[in-house]
Amino acid sequence: MIRSAFVELYRGLGLLRTYSSLNMVAFTKILKKFAKVSNQQASATYLSTVKRSYFVTSDKVIRLMDEVESIFTKHFTNNDRKRAMKFLRPRQNKDSHRVTFFVDYSQAVL
């Protein structure tokens, strides 16, 4: 039960890291669009403020992920990092677009 809690914590931290980077990209794109539409060059000021913000500059999430990896490796896989990462970052099956096409096509024919 504790092992699955560690796995969920690690996945949650990974999602938080992704969320942070996506927010930065989205804010940059929004500012570009605003500058284009309004013919104002205020985006550089806002962007520099956002880049200095704690949410963007903090490496706390990465440090927590490293700590979870370390604890999980030590206590659940007998210091076998490769095996630990198989639990923490399981491979996802890649979906085939061919299957999607055939399912959609078969329903369209009916």
Half-sphere exposure of 65 (CA within 13 A, CB side): 16
Question: Residue 8 corresponds to which tokens in the numbers above?
Answer: 């969920």
- The pTM assigned to this predicted structure is 0.70
- Check residues 107 and 28 and name the one with the higher pLDDT: 28
Residue 95 phi/psi, 5-degree rounding, is: -80, 145
Tell the residue number behind the tokens 């942070």, with chain if given: 20
Q: State pLDDT tens for residues 34-88.
A: 888 888 777 778 888 888 888 888 899 999 999 999 999 999 999 999 999 998 8
96-107 as b/e: b if 16+ CB within 10 A: eeeeeeeeeeee
In angstroms, rounded to a whole number, what is the distance separating the alpha carbons of residues 96 and 57? 37
Q: Please report, for the chain, the start and end positions of each structural domain, with discontinuous segments joined by +.
A: 2-91
Look at residue 50 in the predicted model and tell me its pLDDT.
83
Q: What is the pLDDT of residue 16?
A: 92
